[in-house]
Amino acid sequence: MLIHPGFDPVAVRIGPLAVHWYGLMYLLGFALFVWLGRRRLRHEPYRTLGWQPRDVEDMLFWGVLGVIVGGRLGYVLFYKPLDYLAQPWQIFAVWQGGMSFHGGLAGVLIALAIWARRQHRPWLQVMDFIAPCVPTGLAAGRIGNFINGELWGRVASPDLPWAMVFPAAGPLPRHPSQLYQFALEGLLLFALLWAYARTPRRTGEVSAAFLTGYGVLRFTAEFFREPDAHLGLLSLGLSMGQWLSLPMVVAGLALWIWARRRAEAT
* Among 136, 105, 126, 140, CA closest to 206: 126
Q: Which helix (H) or strand (E) holds 221?
A: helix 205-221
State residue 82's pLDDT score. Answer: 75
Tell me: the pLDDT tens digits for 189-209? 999 999 999 999 999 999 999
Does the pTM surpass 0.75? The reply is yes
Percentage of the chain surpassing pLDDT 70? 98
State residue 93's pLDDT score. Answer: 67
**Residue 121: Cβ within 10 Å count:** 16
Please report which confidence band the pLDDT of residue 173 belongs to, taking 50, 70 and 90 as the band edges.
very high
pLDDT at 212 over 80: yes
Instruction: Name, of 16-25, 164-173, 229-238, the range with top average pLDDT.
Output: 164-173
State residue 95's pLDDT score. Answer: 60
Cβ atoms of residues 131 and 207 within 8 Å: yes
Q: Do the bridges between strand 164-165 and strand 2-3 make them parallel or antiparallel, or are there none, so unpaired?
A: parallel
Q: Do the bridges between strand 164-165 and strand 173-174 make them parallel or antiparallel, or are there none, so unpaired?
A: antiparallel
**Residue 203: Cβ within 10 Å count:** 17
Each domain of the chain, given as residue ranges in start order, spans 2-265
Give the C-alpha separation, 12 to 149, whole Å: 18
Name all contacts of 78-86 with Cβ < 8 Å and 24+ positions apart. Answer: 78/102, 78/103, 78/240, 78/244, 79/228, 79/230, 79/231, 79/240, 80/230
Cβ atoms of residues 122 and 203 within 8 Å: yes
Give the C-alpha separation, 53 to 40, whole Å: 10
Query: Rounded mean pLDDT of 86-105?
Result: 74
Q: Which helix (H) or strand (E) holds 174?
A: strand 173-174
Q: Burial-class residue 252 by CB neighbours within 10 Å (0-12, 13-18, 19+).
A: buried
pLDDT at 85 over 90: no
Residue 17 — φ and ψ, nearest 5°? -85, 130
Query: Rounded mean pLDDT of 247-264?
Result: 93
Peptide bond into 45 cis (omega under 30): yes
Cβ contacts of residue 43 below 8 Å, gap of 6+? 197, 198
Alpha helices in 1-86 (DSSP H): 21-40, 46-49, 53-78, 81-86
Query: Rounded mean pLDDT of 240-256?
Result: 95
Q: Report whether 260 belongs to an annotated binding site.
A: no
- DSSP for 135-160 reads HHHHHHHHHHHHHHT-S-B-B--TTS
State residue 96's pLDDT score. Answer: 61
* Among 238, 243, 254, 37, CA closest to 136: 37
Q: Is the dihedral of CA 167, 173, 179, 184 positive or negative?
A: negative
Tell me: the pLDDT tens digits for 5-61? 999 988 988 888 888 888 899 899 999 999 999 999 999 899 999 899 999 999 999
Please report which confidence band the pLDDT of residue 227 belongs to, taking 50, 70 and 90 as the band edges.
very high
